[in-house]
Chain A
């Protein structure tokens, strides 16, 4: 477990949890990234100002935090570009079909004790782990 970073994980997680709780208390909204982004690119939804502001903060914060020396800013992607493309398509389509992702189901949904979110979280965790097992230990092993 040489890569295990419990303290930065807990602190970073707490900031994410604070963000989700604050967005509900302030604006009454679920901090689900796939929902916020997906509805932004779906013309029917009119109220987009807060969505753009939230996503702008999400994009800008990591380089700022890195400049302040609070994070490494490392982004290591080891797979080939065609697989990156395929993964992006699956994540975009799947999160919209399944009404949420790691934030909307995994954090906000579990915090609401939602059975839908619990089911979704167990499934995407299990399938994600299954794919990694396949790639690293069956094909690549």
Chain B
């Protein structure tokens, strides 16, 4: 029960952060990705400040976690272990970047905007789930 409540609290914090930083607004995100607007003064660097604000807390909290043998409510830490750069990673990041630049939604903001984003946010979320399912069906051999 504790780990369910902890996950709920983490989700609430994450969603509040996306709302307060306006990263749930695709127009705001595209304003950051639009580096072509730098010469005219129309560029919006806010997203970089969101990343900086996040890393300022995640870095020290992860360092703290590294020094512990186990998390509070689980038996072990699920740290990712891979460090190699493979084709799937690079191609996946490029495909994701293309969709991100097209609409301005990445997965977190797409969920955060579900309640307030109208039909377009619902369409994006449905298509994103379909894209994930397509990956599981075609590329993810472990899932079969």
Residues of A within 8 A of B (CB): 1-6, 8-31, 33-34, 37-38, 41-44, 49-51, 53-66, 70-79, 81, 83-99, 101-103, 105-112, 114-116, 119-121, 123-133, 135-137
The smallest beta-carbon distance between A53 and chain B, in angstroms, is 4
User: B103 touches which one: A34, A87, A96, A97 (CB < 8 A)?
Assistant: A87
Docked-complex contact A9 and B127, CB < 8 angstroms: no
The smallest beta-carbon distance between B32 and chain A, in angstroms, is 9
Docked-complex contact B25 and A26, CB < 8 angstroms: no
Find the A residue at minimum CB distance from B97.
Answer: A127
Cβ contacts under 8 Å, B99 to chain A? 86-92, 94
User: A53 touches which one: B8, B123, B127, B129 (CB < 8 A)?
Assistant: B8
Q: List 12 extra interface pairs beyond A24-B71, A61-B16, A77-B120, CB under 8 A.
A: A12-B16, A15-B16, A16-B53, A17-B58, A20-B14, A28-B65, A37-B107, A42-B143, A88-B125, A91-B128, A96-B92, A102-B107
**Would you call the interface of chain B mostly helix, strand, loop, or mixed?**
helix
Give the CA-CA distance A64 to B20 in the complex, in Å: 11
Cβ contacts under 8 Å, A92 to chain B? 99, 107, 127-135
Find the A residue at minimum CB distance from B99.
Answer: A90
Docked-complex contact A62 and B24, CB < 8 angstroms: yes
The smallest beta-carbon distance between B111 and chain A, in angstroms, is 5
Docked-complex contact A99 and B79, CB < 8 angstroms: no
Docked-complex contact A24 and B105, CB < 8 angstroms: no
Give the CA-CA distance A71 to B15 in the complex, in Å: 11
Cβ contacts under 8 Å, A56 to chain B? 8, 11
Cβ contacts under 8 Å, B143 to chain A? 42-44
The smallest beta-carbon distance between A40 and chain B, in angstroms, is 9
Q: B34-61 CB contact bits vs A (8 Å, 1 = yes)?
A: 1111000111111101111111111111
Task: Answer whether A84 and B61 are a contact pair too, CB < 8 Å, given A33-B108, A114-B80, A132-B36.
Answer: no
Find the B residue at minimum CB distance from A51.
Answer: B7
The smallest beta-carbon distance between B139 and chain A, in angstroms, is 6
Docked-complex contact A94 and B71, CB < 8 angstroms: no
